[in-house]
Structure 1
Amino acid sequence: MEVMGLFFLLLPLFYLLLSAWRMHRRRAQLPPGPAPLPLVGNLLNGGSLLYQTYPKFWRKYGDVFTIWMGPYPAVVLCGYKTIKEALITFAPQFSERWPVAVTGRLVKGYGIVTRNGEHWQQTKRFPVTTLRNFGMGKRSMEERVQEEAQHLLQAVEETAGKRSLMEERVQEEAQHLLQAVEETAGKPFDPQSGLGRAVNVLINLVVFGRRWDYEDKTFLKFIQIINNMFVLVRNPLGVVYNIFHKTMDHLPGPHQKVFQDCEEVKSFIKEEIQRHKRSFNPDSPRDFIDCFLIQAEKESEEENRIFCEENLLATIFEMFVGGTDTTANTLQFALLAMISYPRIQEQMQKELDEVIGPDRLPGIADRFQLPYSNAVVHEVMRFVDISPLGVAHKMAEDTKFRGCNIPKGTKVFVALASSLADPEQWKNPYEFDPENFLDDEGNFCKQEALIPFSIGRRVCPGEGLARMEVFLFITALLQKFTFHPANPTDTFNLKERRRDFRKKGLSFHLIAEPRTGMKNGLQK
């Protein structure tokens, strides 16, 4: 018994020594970085919140360094030039995805985000082409965004204390011109829910071919489920789950509730797919699901089918989740910037008044005549830094990159945030400043280092739609409303708010004051 007791006492010590020895051996084959502890790696000295702590490692170890996520190493790439070289010049080596345990449990190896190889290429190509070319009937995507902007404007009216004279909100796919509403004093409101609904409605239109009313209980529930999932992904519990998911899958905790709720969203998507199959007409596709079903019929006799129902379900789930949270939070941060910098808001409104006027909503083509507004929108996307590390990559082969050896199969984080605040690329990288996108004469200047959607082969397939939504919604809202803090004495530190957002989401209250002569983007 004493021998057995000694054995079980020494076993953990032996395991720790073995882990330390393995780490020591592997460190010699990787780029430099902070020394890891056995088993936990660098989780205790910043690894669990790498999106916050990477700058100190960047300054100390350079553009390419190694961090240990538990017992597993991950190489981190920093700076626009380094990222561009990796994802463009060395694209074949850096373009594979590292499996993400949180999403992997839900999509079960299908979809776009973490899949690799030929299946990924064809699956990604299809939604990109569909989003670009599928005008949802006979109308363009821009018209759909403008239409939803009308709904958003009305929602802000009502939330801010307006009584709508409309007996019901038009829900059809035709262009909606909202009726005049009776004006009353504005009331404080949190823009989070309204913006999330407006963005998600567009995903529903693209995918399911129909829009939900903003007050639909199922719709609101799904929005909350998506928010909860991103809270899990951002906080340390999500980091720990991604590392030790095989163990945590069997342990109780808040992560289990998130997964259960997400399964409810998947069940809804399954029902929608079956509903489409029952009314499917290949000669008249209504939405993304119909287009996918058409493609599935073309390859029905092929082996290893790519356009199968499992892949359709996973792809829709990824679009449903990825297309809501990031864009909605960008819009929310834009309104926070407007009440933090009223001078910027005033200058945008002056430009909108001079170029667009009160009689129509801004269009995407107007951005060329709205250099200052366009610069503000781009600065919002830069400063909010919605996805600091993007989705992890994986080395497809042994590679020598910038003097460092990176073995095949190594996890790689591309610190997109480092490009968005690269002092070599921006006039004022650490402050909210539209001048980052303006030349000395006030003309808009495109900046290559603005890569919030990543670059190269793994760029976000919804980038075009997201950029359109952000521009059209922000300009429509500022054309119609002036935004103020709910409390005149409130002050906002955008850096602190951005940091809080990454931990627990963004929440604040403001007041929307209708601008004189404006009614839902139209003249009274």
Structure 2
Amino acid sequence: MYRRRNLPPGPTPLPVIGNLLQIKRGEMVKSLIQVSFRVVFSNGDRWKQLRRFSLTTLRNFGMGKRSIEERIQEEAQCLVEEIRNYKQKPTDPRNILGQAVSNVICSIVFGNRFEYEDLKFLKLLNLFNETFQLMSSTWGQLQEIIPKIMEYIPGPHQKINPILETMLEFVSKRIKMNQATLDPSSPRDYIDCFITKMQQDNEDPTSEFNIKNLLVTVLNLFFAGTETVSTTLRHGFLILLKYPEIQEKMHKEIDCVIGHNRSPNIEDRSKMPYMEAVIHEIQRFSDVIPINVPHTVIKDTTFRGFTIPKGTDVFPLLCSVLRDPNQFTTPDKFNPGHFLDESGCFKKNDAFMPFSTGKRICLGEGLARMELFLFLTTILQNFTLTSETKFTESDIAPRMTGFANVPINYQMSFIPRVA
């Protein structure tokens, strides 16, 4: 009967556990590519209302505009000064990158940044990172696939929900602070705007603007605006430690276009094809979020001769495009040449879609692209990245184990560059 329904090819699912037996331990992404297995996230009218509001509000607070560029530039300089305090000592860059990137989204969502010495903020970011890693572990994958069953099975995955609750408590306290001092005529941040919208829609039973959705939306913005970009930068640092010759070329381009007497700005990007190519290749190669967000089929659909029934949740796998050998000459190797033409000019590639595509494209794409360029360029303008460890190609390769690709833990030093 399963075959007669003309579904796309794949192993027949079993009752309750579906295709769980086809998911190899620690290899969720690879297994999904092989058997096209599906899981479930939010969609429908709730998604439409909240996304539309979030896009408008984030733009009003400067996302993609000059004002947010200045905010990133300021944070990048704060980051440089903090790095100088390390005095070239080996360090794990995870915390400081997380704090710097998170401060940008915090300025939009909460209306302020946090000092690097703020231990409560650092603890929160460590919880984010722990959640990110747990969700990509074998246990986290199983929880995503069979949550009802995994509720009753002991293991590391049981820490995920308590951690999320701790983070929600932090957001809840911020919301209460905003509620107590709200001036609807002068919103300070995203939370103020959401609370005002809640008050306006108070009598509308179809409105999705309520405290629960505010908590979840703010946490999503905070999480997505912190972990994806900071993880990409960590991948990038690791790659540049492995390939010092690439770092040297980036230094030369920075010296030629920007010099040492001013901060990088977003206009520099069009004059720096090699930097653009390296950043694109870091995103392609590291493939931080290999599994795209879900798309629900709204009607029975025929695709390549097969029937996908209405209501089916479909997960396009971004990794299958970013590593397509028909689009990239060396898909499994780091190669900035994928984004350079014969003349050394930057070359676009339609298969480059780390932010997804279509209606569910990442709403923070413009912000993330700006952050990656300004943070990486500012750091390389001021420092040479070195490490006592000699990294291998295996060390820099993405793990491809689950929801996210997290780089290995590593130590590095920031050596000041002489102007």
Name the CA distance, whole Å, in 1 between partners of 2:324 and 2:113: 40
Q: Spell out the pairing of 1:241-256 with structure 2 (5 A cutoff).
A: 241-256=143-158
C-alpha displacement at 1:290, in angstroms? Answer: 1.5
Q: Which residue of structure 1 lines up, in the alignment, with residue 393 of structure 2? A: 493
Task: Tell me if 1:213 matches 2:213.
Answer: no
Q: Conserved in 2, the CA contact under 8 Å of 1:367 and 1:374? A: yes
Whole-angstrom distance in 2 between the partners of 1:505 and 1:482: 20
Partner residue in 1 for 2:30: 52
Paired position in structure 1 for 2:99: 197
CA distance, structure 2, for counterparts of residue 458 and residue 143 of structure 1: 28
- Is 1:141 aligned to 2:68, yes or no? yes
Which of residues 128, 136, 142 in structure 2 aligns to 1:226?
128
What CA distance in whole angstroms lies between the structure 2 residues aligned with 1:515 and 1:283? 48
| Structure 2: tracts of 5 or more residues without a match | none
Query: 3-state DSSP class of the match of 1:324?
Result: helix
Q: Counterpart in 1 of 2:79?
A: 152
3-state SS in 2 of match to 1:486: coil
**Within-5 A mapping of 1:434-453:** 434-453=336-355
Equivalent residues of 1:497, 1:506 under 8 A apart: no
Counterpart of 1:155 in structure 2: which amino acid? Answer: E
Aligned to 1:293: 195
Q: Give the Å deviation of 1:477.
A: 0.7
Q: Equivalent residue for 1:458?
A: 360
Q: What is the aligned partner in structure 2 of residue 187 from structure 1?
A: 89
Q: Output the CA distance in 2 between the equivalents of 1:449 and 1:27.
A: 34
Give the equivalent residue in structure 1 for 2:418: 516
> Aligned with 2:315: secondary structure?
strand
How many angstroms apart in 1 are the aligned matches of 2:91 and 2:15?
A: 49
Question: Displacement, 1:29?
Answer: 3.1
Q: Is the 8 A contact 1:337 1:494 kept in 2?
A: no
Note if contact 2:384-2:415 (Cα within 8 Å) is conserved in structure 1. Answer: yes
User: Residues of 1 paired with 2:406 and 2:234: CA distance?
Assistant: 14
Instruction: Give the secondary-structure state (helix, strand or coil) at the position aligned to 1:151.
Output: helix
- The 3 A distance-change label for structure 1 pair 27 and 236 is farther
Change (3 A) 1:427 1:358: same
1:307 aligns with 2:234: no
**Contact 2:298/2:311 (<8 A) preserved:** yes
Alpha-carbon shift at residue 225 of structure 1 (Å): 1.1
SS of structure 1 residue aligned to 2:370: helix
* Partner Cα distance (1:495, 1:238) in 2: 23
Q: Does 1:130 align with 2:32?
A: no
Contact 1:388 1:416 in 2 (8 A): yes
TM-score normalised over the length of structure 1: 0.74
With over 3 angstroms needed to count, the CA separation of the structure-2 counterparts of 1:191 and 1:27, relative to structure 1, is farther
* Structure 1 residue aligned with 2:7: 30
- Are 1:382 and 1:450, in contact at CA under 8 Å, matched by a contact in 2? yes
Q: Distance in 1 between matches of 2:14 and 2:195?
A: 50
Aligned to 1:275: 177
Aligned to 1:84: none
CA distance in 1, matches of 2:376, 2:264: 10
Partner AA of 2:71 in structure 1: R
Instruction: Tell me which amino acid in the other structure corresponds to 2:53.
Output: F
- Give the strand-richer structure, 1 or 2: 1
* Selected match of 1:428 from 321, 330, 345: 330
Instruction: Give distance in 2, aligned partners of 1:151 and 1:392.
Output: 37
Write the deviation string for residues 467-517 of structure 1: whole angstroms up to 9, x where unpaired: 111111111111100111234xx1331565412785765311111110002
**Residue 397 in 1 paired to residue 299 in 2?**
yes
- Post-superposition shift, 1:341? 1.0
**Alignment partners' CA distance in 1, 2:142 and 2:207:** 34
> Helix, strand or coil: the match of 1:323?
helix
* Alpha-carbon RMSD: 2.3
State the structure with more CA Rg: 1
Question: In 1, distance between residues paired with 2:312 and 2:400?
Answer: 31
Query: In the alignment, is the contact (CA less than 8 A) between 1:363 and 1:472 conserved in 2?
Result: yes
Instruction: Please say if residues 235 and 396 of structure 2, whose CA atoms lie closer than 8 Å, have aligned partners that are also in contact.
Output: no
Match of 2:231 among 326, 329, 337: 329
Which residue pairs with 2:374 in the alignment? 472
TM-superposed CA distance for 1:369, in Å, is 0.7
Amino acid at match of 1:33: G
Distance in 2 (CA, whole Å) between partners of 1:313 and 1:256 is 21
Matched, 1:118 2:45: yes
Specify every segment of 5 or more residues in structure 1 that has no aligned partner in the other structure, as ranges. 1-23, 58-65, 69-73, 75-97, 100-113, 162-185, 518-524
* 1:28 positional shift: 4.7
Q: Which of 1 and 2 has higher RCO (CA within 8 Å, sep 6+)?
A: 2
> Higher mean Cα deviation, 251-260 or 225-234?
251-260
Per-residue Cα deviation, 1:301-341 (whole angstroms, up to 9, x for no partner): 32222222221111001111122111111000111111111
CA 1:124–1:27 in structure 2 vs 1: closer, same or farther (change >3 Å)? Answer: farther
Letter in 1 for 2:288: I
Cα distance change, pair 331–494 in 1 and its aligned pair in 2 (3 A): farther
Shift of 1:150: 0.9
1:319 corresponds to? 221
Q: How does 1:354-373 map to 2 (within 5 A)?
A: 354-373=256-275
Change (3 A) 1:317 1:470: same
